[in-house]
Structure 1
Amino acid sequence: MNIYYIITFFFLLFASKANFLVQSNLAWFGFEVSMIVVAFYFDRVKKKDVQFFLVSIAIYFIYILFRFKLNQLPIDYFKSDAFYFFKFVLTSYLFCLILKEKTLYYLVKVISHLALISIIFYIIQFYQNGVIVKAIGNAFESITVNDNSLRYTNFLVFTYDTIHYYRNSGFCWEPGAFGSFLTLALLFNFLMNDFKLNKEAFIITLAILTTVSTTAYLAVFLLFFLRYRVLNKGSKVTIIAFAILFAIAIPNVPFLGEKIVEIYDQDIRDLKRIEELSTYYDDVQRQIPLNRFASVIFLYEQFDWKLFLGVSNQYDEYYINEYNVNISNGIMDFITKFGVVGLFVLLWRYGTMCKVYLRKMEYVIYSIMILMILSFGEPILMLPICVIFIFLPTFKNQDFSTLSFKYRSEFLQLQRPNNL
């Protein structure tokens, strides 16, 4: 274990949105200070890196200031956006600054280790309704956050929620989010290792299966089709056949189709009686849980044209007094925070990173579709695990390709080309 592994481990903990560290601004600040010290100690800071960061700050603050004036919202909305930069964006930048070309390698390595740990605890959680993992979590939380929740418990590397008693939440706040982290790690692993099925791929895939996440399953299905295409298999006829099969499978596979249709129907019913639901949930002091489709419709009705540039990182304050809802669509959540413009920039930078590894634009489009599927189900785009896509292309060697063993042996210090 080295400093890069440790930095990556804590980066993932802060990105997980599941543990006591995430709730502490002091912990975030301490982690950022630690990364700054590491960056200078290991001479990872170059003049061009500082210049790039200053340009990023300027662009970001000009953007949020312009839309703040345009939307004419209270000053707290602007403060929230500024705070987001120095909390989430700065953390992501420092992480990329330290690891640079090693970023994906260590993300895969650490996530695969956390996935293996999660599988062990996932098996244990079936023993007497999770009595062991709840005991571990309660003991850990008694010395950290003192949270006496009867339903939810977390001890950094694993989360147990009685609602998801048959699913694996891993180190994230819920199984769907964990499935998203794992799917991204599997994609990174494929990109670095010529899409070969190494031991990390098997571990991560097994962990994905334990999440029982619809969005993760759909994304992985597309990811393996990407693998099929990259390995020079298939023709245009194959692609058409796959598209038809994919379209037929979703509504007809009970696990996928019935759940999607059920969610959509429930969303429409909830929106039609949202005022009635609002009264009920206020009485029981809970939020109205809007699902994927209802979240899209609700936010569009609330903000309309403002979604082009976004509203604010704390957009929920705009309507919370009238409708105390919980949004569960990651794409719409990100658009409402940073606009269609912000989403375009993020996907463009993500695509640029993928293009470094992939040979054809077709493959890059598949990669973007995978991210969109994951974020449609979970609000991951605003988390550091995705914010790093803004910075990664800057820290990658532009002449790198997946077939370059020289790159792996020189920068990643691997003895074998396809083994982490």
Structure 2
Amino acid sequence: MTYEVINRKIDKFILVIIVIMMSGASLLNDHDELLIIIFTLMGSAMLARKQRINPFIIGVIVLWLFINIISFLYNETGLSLNTFLGYLLRLLIPFFGLKLIGITFWEKLENLIYKMALLTIPIFILDLIFPEIFNALKPIFEPLTSNTFYRKESQSSYWYSFFYTHSGREGIRNSGFMWEPGAFAMVLVLMIIYNWCTKGFRFSKRVWIYSILIITTFSTAGYLALAFLLVAYVQKAKKLHVSVISMVLLIVFVLVGRSMDFLGPKIERFLSETENNILYEQGYSNRYEANRVAYFLINLTKSIELPTGYGVVEDKESFFSVQKIVGVNGLGDILLMWGWLGLLFVLFSIFKFCSAISTVNLSYFTIFLLSIAILITFFSNPIETNPILFLVVFTPHIFKIKEQLHEFDFQQMLEDHKQNIAK
């Protein structure tokens, strides 16, 4: 076996591990020792390939240490060393992946996700037709699934199999290979952005498949992000017939969305619950759960008290409170953990990411629209410990802007782009 073949196999292994971690539904979430093994293997690969640690990532680690020390001294509620180091491992593994695979990372990741996305289509259709059979498969795949998802009685038949996640709930929402439909939509949105930024703004076969799969998720954030992508497409295309068709679709989307339960009414309900301070008691714990908007405002209030961030240290109010309040909001948790500096850095890095992976000329407004689409999905998903966050944020700081992040015939790409303009 040649050195090149070995490297290719190592790259595939790294991508598979990152996708498993990204899925958020695997047993990797339950076993810290597995995380340590993965970190050790990838660290060893870094040494074998003589990859250097960027000053950038050292700065991130120092900042993380500083935030936790300040938070510990301020809150005096205890600092778990295991939690602190565990977060560092989850942060460094995506960094190692980017460094080890190099500038072709996103191309290879997108190719893998595309194949997995295709595979979910027939499985999802079969799941809709034969739900009882899929429920019966739980004993087979339960050993691969995180125990976290069995806390709720409604997910008693939940299972994860790398290629597909079966929620076990009634309904027609597609989770793909992620832990839930909204997370699947988040990944698909990123893949559409990658395709447009590297292969030109056109509805290719891959973009169509990703878009259709987003529709099958019935995700509020996924649909809103898709609407912003459509606006970005109209703005970039600048063709009369394309603009007219796209605007008609966008208007139809807005009108229909206002009456669909998971869009207009859901957003209105979130705002109403937030205004009236309505919380819901979790059936499987003694905690209360706030909706995404309310939870962001709760974290916003806490961040004003300690702008440098809380790290993994629990704030005094939550620590001494009998009634714990939890929620889901990726950007809110980033603000809470990393402080205002961390959140601003993430916002800047997402904007820079869309520019860094682009091989076509994009206006700042187009990049802004693409960034908003990403932020919508990050707002709605618990991504504060997910590899997808670190991959997006780290990419523009590891690779140079406009650097070739994928391997294909650039001359052919330019020719194709010229032909699209001519049409």
Provide the TM-score with structure 2 as the length reference.
0.80
Counterpart among 365, 374, 378 of residue 371 in structure 1: 374
Q: Which amino acid aligns with 2:166?
A: Y
Which aligned pairs between 1:62-81 and structure 2 lie closer than 5 A?
A: 62-69=66-73, 71-76=74-79, 80-81=83-84
Stretch of structure 1 that moved more, 144-153 or 351-360: 144-153
Counterpart among 5, 13, 25 of residue 6 in structure 1: 13
Which aligned pairs between 1:92-171 and structure 2 lie closer than 5 A?
A: 92-128=94-130, 130-142=131-143, 150-163=156-169, 165-171=171-177
The 3 A distance-change label for structure 1 pair 285 and 391 is: closer
Specify the alignment match of 2:365 in structure 1: 362
Residue 222 of structure 1 and its aligned partner are, at CA, apart by: 0.8
Specify the alignment match of 2:44 in structure 1: 37
Q: CA RMSD in A?
A: 3.5
> Does the 8 A contact of 1:409 with 1:417 survive in 2?
no
Counterpart among 38, 59, 63 of residue 59 in structure 1: 63
- Does 1:228 find its partner at 2:234? yes
Specify the alignment match of 2:214 in structure 1: 208
The 3 A distance-change label for structure 1 pair 2 and 305 is: same
Is the partner of 1:326 in helix, strand or coil? strand
Specify the alignment match of 1:348 in structure 2: 348
Stretch of structure 1 that moved more, 322-331 or 362-371: 322-331
> Does the 8 A contact of 2:25 with 2:160 survive in 1?
yes
The 3 A distance-change label for structure 1 pair 202 and 381 is: farther
Stretch of structure 1 that moved more, 292-301 or 139-148: 139-148
Stretch of structure 1 that moved more, 370-379 or 158-167: 158-167
Is the partner of 1:108 in helix, strand or coil? helix
Residue 218 of structure 1 and its aligned partner are, at CA, apart by: 0.8
| Distance (whole Å) between structure 2 residues aligned to residue 248 and residue 135 of structure 1 | 39
| Distance (whole Å) between structure 2 residues aligned to residue 18 and residue 10 of structure 1 | 13
Specify the alignment match of 2:93 in structure 1: 91
Stretch of structure 1 that moved more, 244-253 or 99-108: 244-253
Is the partner of 2:137 in helix, strand or coil? helix
Identity among equivalent pairs (%): 20
> Does the 8 A contact of 2:135 with 2:168 survive in 1?
no
Q: For 1:334-386, what per-residue CA distance to the aligned partner results, in whole angstroms no more than 9, with x for missing partners?
A: 21121222111112122222223253221221122112211222122442101
Residue 56 of structure 1 and its aligned partner are, at CA, apart by: 3.3
Residue 105 of structure 1 and its aligned partner are, at CA, apart by: 0.7
Specify the alignment match of 1:387 in structure 2: 390
Is the partner of 2:407 in helix, strand or coil? helix
Residue 84 of structure 1 and its aligned partner are, at CA, apart by: 0.9
Is the partner of 1:408 in helix, strand or coil? coil
Q: For 1:36-79, what per-residue CA distance to the aligned partner results, in whole angstroms no more than 9, with x for missing partners?
A: 333344x3614xx444433432333234333443x333332676
Q: Which amino acid aligns with 2:123?
A: F
Unaligned runs of 5+ in 1: none
> Does the 8 A contact of 1:157 with 1:170 survive in 2?
yes
Which aligned pairs between 1:222-301 and structure 2 lie closer than 5 A?
A: 222-233=228-239, 249=255, 252-255=258-261, 256-269=263-276, 271-272=277-278, 281=282, 285-301=285-301
> Does the 8 A contact of 1:315 with 1:337 survive in 2?
no
| Distance (whole Å) between structure 2 residues aligned to residue 79 and residue 25 of structure 1 | 9
| Distance (whole Å) between structure 2 residues aligned to residue 163 and residue 174 of structure 1 | 11
Q: Which amino acid aligns with 1:204?
A: Y
| Distance (whole Å) between structure 2 residues aligned to residue 382 and residue 363 of structure 1 | 28
Extract structure 1 runs of 4+ deviating beyond 4 A: 142-149, 244-251
Q: For 1:85-104, what per-residue CA distance to the aligned partner results, in whole angstroms no more than 9, with x for missing partners?
A: 2x221112101111221121
Is the partner of 2:408 in helix, strand or coil? helix
| Distance (whole Å) between structure 2 residues aligned to residue 59 and residue 36 of structure 1 | 21
Q: For 1:302-323, what per-residue CA distance to the aligned partner results, in whole angstroms no more than 9, with x for missing partners?
A: x251353222335478526422
| Distance (whole Å) between structure 2 residues aligned to residue 312 and residue 63 of structure 1 | 6
Structure of higher RCO (CA pairs closer than 8 Å, 6+ residues apart): 2
